[in-house]
Amino acid sequence: MSSPEIVVLCGAISPERAVSLRSGAACAEALAKSFPSVRLVVLEENALPVGLDPARHVVFPVIHGDFGEDGRLQAELEARGFAYAGSDAVASALCIDKVATKARVRAAGVPVSPEVSFAAPRRPRALSVIRRLGRSVVMKPADKGSSVGLHMLAGARRLGRVLSRVRSGNWMIEPRLRGRELTVGILDGKAMGIVEIVPRSGDYDYRSKYTAGATQYLFPAPVAEEVAADIRAQAERLFAACGCRDFARADVILLPSGKFFFLEVNTLPGLTATSLLPKSASCVGIDFPALARRMIEPALRRHEARSGSR
């Protein structure tokens, strides 16, 4: 039986399309160092392309945000019998919803901060939010990624102005935790190295993420080993509690007191050679081509198992 072709899907229609295009190209290039047949496919709509065959193709989705991370793509792949890399449709749909994810991991004992969530046009009163969460808050869409729509606000008046402009969507407000921003990659259920994110502006917003030179990254992060070990253990617990598969990346904030809180989990993180997940992998001696290979290998095994059972 011949080896399947690996099809890397990127693009689609979302605010994160441009990032997905870069991730897809880099991922396909890295996979080509390990596998003889790799093809990059750019989606121009939020639907699977024609011409793919679950008997001959294994899919590596590298689509961030809408369609890629919300479980819709995974549900289509499952319905058509494809083996694919990454978390399944149920876990993906859970993890794109930050409120539902926090509820799940909070129940599992993973430390997360309190939040106020709402679905616009219904909105909470700004003063009641401030009384519950504190004067400085972070408001963001509950089901988007890459800091899209992120607001950092101080005081009921500023929060009230932003709330008054919100007309649609699901939103979440959290206390603004001032500490060190960290992230940790998880591969096959095991946490890798911790990366510290140091935005030069002080805020890790969309501009800081995607503007060259706007952010400094420290990897491995200079964190006491006892704390680092605890963060890694909790990241693995989070991964399992959410039902994640193959790989993910979890974001953490470490307070000066030594306490830390998980912010969210990303089931389809950025995959350029300089993205956070490859930085995390490099801390444990895994270079980018090796990381890409290990990310697709479980899907190849699933494909082989399905082929053998036919």
* Closest to 210 in 3D by CA, of 17, 11, 12, 9: 17
pLDDT in tens, 97-133: 999 999 999 999 999 999 999 999 999 999 999 999 9
CA distances from 212 to 20, 23, 77, 209 (A): 17, 16, 35, 8
Q: What is the pLDDT of residue 149?
A: 78
Query: In this predicted model, which residue has the larger pLDDT, 207 or 222?
Result: 222
Residue type, 182: L
Residue that has been written with the tokens 């491995």 in this structure: 220
Mode of pairing for the β-strands spanning 57-61 and 116-119: unpaired
pLDDT in tens, 218-275: 999 999 999 999 999 999 999 999 999 999 999 999 999 999 999 999 999 999 878 9
Q: What is the pLDDT of residue 118?
A: 96
Residue that has been written with the tokens 């200079």 in this structure: 222
Residue type, 72: R
**Residues 209, 211, 213, 214: is their CA dihedral positive or negative?**
negative
Q: What is the pLDDT of residue 14?
A: 87
CA distances from 67 to 14, 43, 47 (A): 8, 11, 8
Mode of pairing for the β-strands spanning 215-218 and 190-199: antiparallel
Segment 52-59 mean pLDDT: 96
Q: Examine the pLDDT at 176 and tell me if it is beyond 90.
A: yes
Domains for the chain: give ranges and CATH numbers.
116-175 (3.30.1490.20), 178-288 (3.30.470.20)
CB 161 within 8 A of CB 191: no
* Closest to 96 in 3D by CA, of 237, 225, 265: 265
Q: What is the pLDDT of residue 214?
A: 72
CA distances from 285 to 185, 226, 290 (A): 13, 21, 9
Query: In this predicted model, which residue has the larger pLDDT, 205 or 252?
Result: 252
Pick the range with the lowest mean pLDDT from 52-61, 141-150, 207-216, 297-306. 207-216
Q: What is the pLDDT of residue 143?
A: 83
The total of other beta-carbon atoms located within 10 Å of residue 165's CB is 8
CB 184 within 8 A of CB 193: yes
Q: Examine the pLDDT at 1 and tell me if it is beyond 60.
A: no
N- to C-terminal Cα distance for the chain? 13
